Amino acid sequence: MGYAQHIVEATQEIFSSMIMLDAAPGKPYQRECELLVNSISGIIGLAGSTKGLLAIHLPAQTALTVTTAFLGMDVEEIDEDVRDAVGELANMLGGSLKSVLDPSGSDIQLSLPSVIHGEGYSVDCLANAETVTVPFSVGSHNFMVELQMRQEK
């Protein structure tokens, strides 16, 4: 099973069980390192036998909708609650993917989640990495989950 399918399964499981929203996947693709506009990203670093990152990128309005559902309270701006929710989503996705990439639990370490947001920013692409990005929609809102990784020798 390819990494895209693992991303789809993990994302759908987390969204259906923790957020009570259906995340419909789109066609996986290789994202260029283009500018993310008016968005927020939760990023987990991978270290050890596999190096790279797992990121969830949400446009601001999607992040507000997802956080409102996740926390069960209205949020109207990107604040600490939204940053914490996006970081926790990245953390859950990272943990789920780690169990697939590293069944023994000893070859890959995960970083604490980092969250960035702004009017325009980019998440650099890792050189010589295998990459896959899966777009999702939740109702009329879109987001993407991205994996960049390379095996260390």
Q: Which CATH architecture has domain 3-151?
A: 3-Layer(aba) Sandwich (3.40)
pLDDT, one tens digit per residue, over 82-139 is 999 999 999 999 999 888 888 877 788 999 999 999 999 988 877 888 899 999 999 9
Q: What is the pTM of this model?
A: 0.93
Minimal CA–CA distance to 41: which of 91, 115, 132, 112?
115
Minimal CA–CA distance to 34: which of 121, 118, 117?
121
Domain boundaries, the chain: 3-151
User: Position 113: which residue type?
Assistant: P
Q: Is the pLDDT of residue 140 over 80?
A: yes
